[in-house]
Amino acid sequence: MLAEFEVQAKERCAAWGGRLIEANGEPDHVHLLIELPPTAALAEFVNALKTGTSRRLRTIFAQELAGVYSKPVLWSRSYCVLSCGGTPLEIIKQYIQQQDRPDD
């Protein structure tokens, strides 16, 4: 499921003129390193990302999710956005890659 999420997230980033640099997830959240143009409204982007990926994943994995997840949405309303500032991207990519990745 995480692999399909990455595909969907890349598509949504590209649609906003950005790119997904790195992605990984844990059972209850995901970590994304995304580059967006400075004109992108982050709250609107996150809403589009979460809405689009939720719809697509719930369609593709309907049978798998039916037994464990009965809500009409996949993501919670909350999110956290951090800027990278002067931190080298390789350090951030390593951090994301080292997250415990659940079995797909």
- Residue 51 covered by a domain: yes
- Residue 34 covered by a domain: yes
- Residue 103 covered by a domain: no
Determine the average pLDDT of the residues in 5-34.
94
- Residue 47 covered by a domain: yes
Based on the structure, what is the number of domains in the chain? 1
Q: What is the pLDDT of residue 67?
A: 78
Q: What is the pLDDT of residue 102?
A: 61
Determine the average pLDDT of the residues in 41-56.
95
Which two three-digit tokens encode residue 61? 């994995």
Mean pLDDT score across all residues of the chain: 89
Domain hosting 45: range is 2-97
- Residue 104 covered by a domain: no
Could you tell me the pLDDT band of residue 103, with boundaries at 50, 70 and 90?
low
Q: Is the pLDDT of residue 84 over 90?
A: no
- Residue 65 covered by a domain: yes
CA distance 24 to 65: 20
- Residue 48 covered by a domain: yes
More confident residue, 70 or 40: 40
More confident residue, 63 or 103: 63
| Contact present, 37 and 18 (Cβ < 8 Å) | yes
- 23 CB-contact burial (10 Å; exposed 0-12 / middle 13-18 / buried 19+): buried
Which two three-digit tokens encode residue 35? 């580059």
- 53 CB-contact burial (10 Å; exposed 0-12 / middle 13-18 / buried 19+): buried
Q: Specify the CATH number for the domain of residue 90.
A: 3.30.70.1290
